[in-house]
Amino acid sequence: MQFAGPRTLLAVHAHPGDESTSTGGALARYARHGARTVVVTCTNGEFDDAPSGAVPGEVGHHPQAVASHRRAELLAACDVLGVTDVELLGYHDSGHTGEVPAGGFCTIPVETAAGRLAALIEHYQPQVVLTHYSSHRDHMHVNRVAKLAVHRTGIPAKLYLTARDGSTTIDISEVADVKRKALRCHASQQVHGAFDVQEHYFRALDTTDAPLPETDLFAGIVTSGPDLPRW
């Protein structure tokens, strides 16, 4: 299937750090081979741990200071991954447990957040979109938002959800060192542990009829951008 414009991958995530833990290998690999990569982060991460280790509700945890620190870690990680563009939607983190704070992301109407994401999809014209599939409430909301935005615009040819074992497997061994370095950028969250050299995705939308299983997120897509290698 032929598409105008450069090969573009857009990843939609709930919190700072998700871009590295969930899709860091794919972002780094496709960036290394010339694709434009875009990260959209929906929340500020106010309910992440503070750099001191203080958790929400403890003395020393100041949500706005945490948000500022997490933003800096996000931008540093995206720089390591070779991400071309970073978009921050600025919603309030909903937290992992307990009562959702006023204005928490998961309380925002899907149509509202999807409208903002749709505008970014229209701007960047990605052929491929990646997003979450998990039980965390903000991740589930991102999933709903991304699906609606993709459907509303009709622009992406493919939508993938992160998975432990999916129909699409991406070998990230050539950029494992890059992903590891990006994870270290999120030092306040201690997310720099071991990881698999394969990332797995479930293909939730496809207009290319590319056969499964896949080893390339852009299988079935031809663009007017750089002629990237096939895996």
**pLDDT at residue number 225:** 60
Q: How do strand 158-163 and strand 198-206 relate by DSSP bridges? A: antiparallel
Structure tokens at 147: 């699906």
DSSP lists the bridge partners of residue 223 as: 3
* Tens digits of pLDDT across the chain (231 residues): 778 789 999 999 999 999 999 999 999 999 999 999 999 999 998 877 778 777 776 777 788 888 898 899 999 999 999 999 999 999 999 988 788 888 899 999 999 999 999 999 999 999 999 999 888 899 999 999 999 999 999 999 999 999 988 899 999 999 999 999 999 999 878 766 678 899 999 999 999 999 999 999 999 999 876 545 555
Q: Helix 176-185 to helix 63-81 angle, to the nearest 10 degrees?
A: 160
Q: Give the integer Cα–Cα distance in Å for 98 and 171.
A: 37
Q: Cα angle vertex 160, ends 204, 201, to 5°?
A: 105
Given the structure tokens 């990569």, which residue do they identify? 37
**pLDDT at residue number 49:** 73
Given the structure tokens 């998990």, which residue do they identify? 134
Give Cα 150 to chain centroid, integer Å.
14
Q: Is the bond leading into 213 cis (omega within 30 degrees of zero)?
A: yes
Alpha helices of 91-175 — where are they, by DSSP H?
A: 110-124, 137-153
Q: Give the integer Cα–Cα distance in Å for 123 and 40.
A: 13
What's the whole-model pTM score? 0.92
Identify how many contiguous H helices and E strands the chain contains and give both numbers. Answer: 6, 9
**pLDDT at residue number 221:** 96
